[in-house]
A and B are shown apart, each in its own frame.
Chain A
Amino acid sequence: MARFAVRRLAGMVLVLFAISVIVFLIFNVIPNSDPAQRIAGKNATPQLVANVTEEWGFDEPLPGQYLTTMKLIFTGQLVSYSSQLNVDEQIWEGVPATLSLCIGAAVLWMSFGILFGYLSAVKAGRLTDRALTVLALVGISMPVFWLAAILLYYLTFKVQLFPSGGYVPLTENPLDWAYHLVLPWITLAVLFVGFYSRVLRSNMLDAMNEDYVRTARAKGLGERRVRVRHVLRNSLIPIVTLFGLDFGAVVGGGAILVESIFNLGGVGQYAAESIANLDLPPIMAVTLFGAFFVVLFNTLVDIAYAYLDPRIRLGTSAQ
């Protein structure tokens, strides 16, 4: 098990290295125009462009350029030339809001996804299942920006129940923190609830036909215990994969729409603003940041898998 974890973590380092090279190539090499010009921003003076060329080492050969770029990003010296702000600091400032949004939404979407999926599977074909199916499809089909707009219009503008946006740090006022995040949480979670409940439903319906479920019934276990310990437990394994991928993506700044609409000031919103300004240094850094979380959570999923399914724990591969 420990060996398995070490292998996966080592693999993760390799993947991150590959991603950093790809990011470097996409931003600095492939566009085939002066990278300094693009990095310096829209209204750069010739002097600034010259400084950027110097600082980023664009007169060196490619491996040197790559090292300089990574040094800038990882030592916290990356600066947006449009706003003169330090990029790494900006990202770190956005992290609490992004994490608050993602963790809260994840708790919601996992709880309701599993609850609805379980109910749907247990009541398969009956009214509850049909109603939940329709709900799930509605949830999956609703665009985030539309749902956010509708919630804002009815719940903050018409019935002033919730604040219209903004983020209050947890350390400042926990109640206010949660109060400000209720609508973003719901908005972000709805899509995932629909999707996860559908996946879980079909996994569970497959698992119900497994021989070991029949064995569990033949042992005289109660129906609920059979469903939870034998059907649900085994059906959750693929859900964990999905969760790892999705959670990594939203933590890495993937919740751009929700963060921007509710003005949370998180990493995603920072990414959106930088893209709007064609401000390359932050875009580059956020891309790496996002990739890091996607890879990290993928790795954690692999390790969790070995815990959830003992057959994976072997650590040997016979081909």
Chain B
Amino acid sequence: MNGTGEKLLEVRDLQVGFATEGGLVQAVDGVSFELAAGEVLAIVGESGSGKSVTAQTVIGLTRSVNSRIEGSVRLRGEELIDAPEAELQKVRGDEVAMVFQDPMTSFNPVYRVGDQIVEAIRAHRRMSDAEARGLAVEMLRSVEIPDPERRVDSYPHEFSGGMRQRAMIAMALALEPSVLIADEPTTALDVTIQAQILALLGRLNRERELATILITHDLGVVAEIADRVLVMHGGRIVERGTLDEVFYSPKDPYTRSLLGAMIRLDQPPPLDPPRTHGPLLEVTDLVKHFPIKRGVLIDREVDRVRAVDGVSFTVERGETLGLVGESGSGKSTLSRTVLQLLEPTSGSIRFEGREIAGLSRREMRPLRREMQMVFQDPYASLNPRKRVGQIVGDPLRLQGEASGAELRGRVQELLGKVGLSPEHYDRYPHEFSGGQRQRIGIARALALRPKLIVADEPVSALDVSIQAQIVELLDDLQEEFGLTYVFVAHDIGVVRHVSDRIAVMYKGEIVEEGPADQVCERPSHPYTEALLAAVPIPDPREARARRQTVGA
């Protein structure tokens, strides 16, 4: 899948700035690169590095009253940067197509998927509705959507995430563009689906000689399909080269730190000695079903979603149990039910030997201080109108632990423990970065000195380098406070890194449980094997070796 030489796209000294109230923010600062036919170019960087802005600027999507764009973008020698809007419209979708990160929100929810593809086709080709529809069906077939004649009339919400991204790719490729820009195309997807989409992109790239710009923060994805790599940081390209050059002899310190920060599945962490002092949490035959109700006048229960369907596990004091599973496996429901945030349908939850399933809210209240939760989205789980001091101090205040100057002192101490500074007390959440916000969430969870912390995808919304820091912080805090963790995540690499034992969830059940190394090295359940095989390894040579053994 190496480039065949013909130079398609040439970007020279691209500058993109946005006028804000605080002055001009330079998002892209002097970026230059070339793209040849049939080549996959990966642009790697963390959030805010300017990688998406660069890609969108290529087809003029960042043009607005507030943006300042300079430099040159040539497609087959033709300048696009100052081309009139009408010219750009001809290029967009026809010559250069784009696939976006979130397939859930990238289709308009009120139109059928087929109609949206037809709309794209007819924006560029003189074609009857019926012909365009036929082409849409063909495209859906080529991206392996089952039963495309029927699914072409589905609405986006009737598709799964993976199908939506396939449909998005079908729409992008319908007009046989010569350049495809894929902006984090697999970030919102489960690993097994990600592997399928990457394989699909790889196949299309080979079959159609499609030049692809792949924007991602995930070096594992890069190692799977890229030919050349650009590393962006702070709006500049800090490293460029072939896949092997960037991975095996990175020149820039930032690239080296990015590679070093990767939490890798195939590199086991140093083992802590097992810390077993008897069970803290024992869950037996836990069931949580959600009824599906349907009826014309009166709702009857017609079926139930078996989110958690007979799960048993034990967490020892001071250990970390990793709970892995893909979206819909029931892992979040399980963690919420264990904390009694959802009422279990049946089963037993014993905390320090005491049965807590079925306790009333009031009876649970004194126990709440013992068990706390850290949430996935550090942007959504902190109240934007409260100051950090309030957010972290509220549990202390509500449980009557402290007030006034004492409260302030304790909160500031907590902020110190999680690597923030006492001056942050009076700030608001929006003044912090994602990683800092997650630290605030951890401080809040720690405030009451709980014994058990359930962390639901605590790092999956964070950049790679920040993920490693937060994992390290959780590790240190466990050491210091003797905490017990249930660590819920979809990324088995991260889970392996932090967990003593791993439980794999699939369709509401735990299909495999055991010591972390055993589960990762010698999985006994086929689903665990599939999950492990789907994880992209950020090492081009190993990725190639694996592709050959799989026979792809």
A: residues with CB less than 8 A from B are 3, 6-7, 10, 125, 210-212, 214-223, 225, 229-230, 233-234, 308-311, 315-319
Query: Does B18 touch A at the CB level, under 8 Å?
Result: no
A219 touching B155, Cβ below 8 Å: no
Query: Does B91 touch A at the CB level, under 8 Å?
Result: yes
In the assembled complex, which residues on chain B have CB atoms less than 8 Å from the CB atom of A212? 105-109
Query: Does B119 touch A at the CB level, under 8 Å?
Result: yes
A221 touching B61, Cβ below 8 Å: no
A308 touching B293, Cβ below 8 Å: no
Q: How far is the CA of A317 from the CA of B65 in the complex (A)?
A: 44
A316 touching B105, Cβ below 8 Å: no
Query: Does B290 touch A at the CB level, under 8 Å?
Result: yes
Known pairs A3-B296, A7-B296, A219-B171; A234 contacts B89 (CB<8 A): no
In the assembled complex, which residues on chain A have CB atoms less than 8 Å from the CB atom of B6? none
Known pairs A214-B61, A215-B100, A221-B89; A309 contacts B109 (CB<8 A): yes
Selected from B92, B107, B108, B290, the residue in CB contact (under 8 A) with A218 is B92
B92 touching A308, Cβ below 8 Å: no
Determine the residue in chain A with the shortest Cβ distance to B85. Answer: A223
Determine the residue in chain A with the shortest Cβ distance to B121. Answer: A219
B108 touching A234, Cβ below 8 Å: yes
A215 touching B292, Cβ below 8 Å: no
Q: How far is the CA of A211 from the CA of B61 in the complex (A)?
A: 12
Query: Does B246 touch A at the CB level, under 8 Å?
Result: no
Query: Does B211 touch A at the CB level, under 8 Å?
Result: no
Selected from B59, B90, B92, B294, the residue in CB contact (under 8 A) with A316 is B294
- Contacts A/B (CB < 8 Å), 18 sampled: A211-B100, A212-B109, A216-B119, A218-B92, A218-B93, A218-B97, A219-B119, A220-B89, A221-B89, A221-B120, A221-B123, A310-B157, A311-B109, A316-B294, A317-B292, A317-B293, A319-B290, A319-B291
A315 touching B90, Cβ below 8 Å: no
B110 touching A234, Cβ below 8 Å: yes
In the assembled complex, which residues on chain B have CB atoms less than 8 Å from the CB atom of A222? 89, 123
A317 touching B157, Cβ below 8 Å: no
B105 touching A211, Cβ below 8 Å: yes
Known pairs A234-B110, A308-B110, A310-B157; A219 contacts B120 (CB<8 A): yes
What 0/1 readout, one digit per residue, does chain B (33-67) give for beta carbons within 8 Å of chain A? 00000000000000000000000000101000100
Pick the 8 closest A-B CB pairs, nearest first: A220-B93, A220-B92, A211-B105, A219-B120, A219-B93, A212-B108, A218-B98, A310-B155
B: residues with CB less than 8 A from A are 59, 61, 65, 85, 89-94, 97-98, 100, 102, 105-110, 119-120, 123-124, 155, 157, 168, 171, 290-294, 296-297, 299, 305
In the assembled complex, which residues on chain A have CB atoms less than 8 Å from the CB atom of B109? 212, 234, 309-311
B293 touching A218, Cβ below 8 Å: no
Smallest CB separation, A43 vs chain B (Å): 49
Known pairs A310-B155, A310-B157; A316 contacts B106 (CB<8 A): no
Determine the residue in chain B with the shortest Cβ distance to A216. Answer: B108
Give the one of A212, A229, A315 with max B CB within 10 A.
A212
Determine the residue in chain A with the shortest Cβ distance to B292. Answer: A318
B291 touching A318, Cβ below 8 Å: yes
Q: How far is the CA of A311 from the CA of B171 in the complex (A)?
A: 21
Determine the residue in chain B with the shortest Cβ distance to A308. Answer: B110
In the assembled complex, which residues on chain B have CB atoms less than 8 Å from the CB atom of A211? 100, 102, 105-106
Give the one of A6, A218, A309 with max B CB within 10 A.
A218
Besides the contacts A211-B106, A218-B61, what 5 more A-B pairs have beta carbons closer than 8 Å? A217-B61, A222-B123, A230-B108, A310-B110, A319-B291
Selected from A216, A220, A309, the residue in CB contact (under 8 A) with B124 is A220
Q: How far is the CA of A309 from the CA of B157 in the complex (A)?
A: 11
In the assembled complex, which residues on chain A have CB atoms less than 8 Å from the CB atom of B94? 220
In the assembled complex, which residues on chain B have CB atoms less than 8 Å from the CB atom of A308? 110
In the assembled complex, which residues on chain A have CB atoms less than 8 Å from the CB atom of B110? 233-234, 308-310
Determine the residue in chain A with the shortest Cβ distance to B101. Answer: A211
Q: How far is the CA of A222 from the CA of B119 in the complex (A)?
A: 11
In the assembled complex, which residues on chain A have CB atoms less than 8 Å from the CB atom of B108? 212, 215-216, 230, 234
Q: How far is the CA of A213 from the CA of B155 in the complex (A)?
A: 17
In the assembled complex, which residues on chain B have CB atoms less than 8 Å from the CB atom of A225? 123
In the assembled complex, which residues on chain B have CB atoms less than 8 Å from the CB atom of A229? 119
In the assembled complex, which residues on chain B have CB atoms less than 8 Å from the CB atom of A219? 92-93, 119-120, 123, 171
In the assembled complex, which residues on chain B have CB atoms less than 8 Å from the CB atom of A10? 296-297
Q: How far is the CA of A63 from the CA of B157 in the complex (A)?
A: 49
Determine the residue in chain A with the shortest Cβ distance to B88. Answer: A220
In the assembled complex, which residues on chain B have CB atoms less than 8 Å from the CB atom of A319? 290-291, 293
In the assembled complex, which residues on chain B have CB atoms less than 8 Å from the CB atom of A215? 98, 100, 106-108, 168
Q: How far is the CA of A219 from the CA of B90 in the complex (A)?
A: 9
Q: How far is the CA of A233 from the CA of B111 in the complex (A)?
A: 10
B119 touching A214, Cβ below 8 Å: no
In the assembled complex, which residues on chain B have CB atoms less than 8 Å from the CB atom of A233? 110
Determine the residue in chain B with the shortest Cβ distance to A221. Answer: B123
In the assembled complex, which residues on chain B have CB atoms less than 8 Å from the CB atom of A210? 105
Smallest CB separation, A150 vs chain B (Å): 39
B157 touching A311, Cβ below 8 Å: yes
Determine the residue in chain B with the shortest Cβ distance to A309. Answer: B110
Smallest CB separation, A277 vs chain B (Å): 42
Q: How far is the CA of A318 from the CA of B94 in the complex (A)?
A: 41
Smallest CB separation, A7 vs chain B (Å): 6
In the assembled complex, which residues on chain B have CB atoms less than 8 Å from the CB atom of A234? 108-110
B92 touching A217, Cβ below 8 Å: yes
Smallest CB separation, B294 vs chain A (Å): 5
A221 touching B119, Cβ below 8 Å: yes
In the assembled complex, which residues on chain A have CB atoms less than 8 Å from the CB atom of B92? 217-220
Q: How far is the CA of A217 from the CA of B97 in the complex (A)?
A: 10
Give the one of B89, B94, B108, B109 with max A CB within 10 A.
B108
B123 touching A220, Cβ below 8 Å: yes
In the assembled complex, which residues on chain A have CB atoms less than 8 Å from the CB atom of B155? 310-311
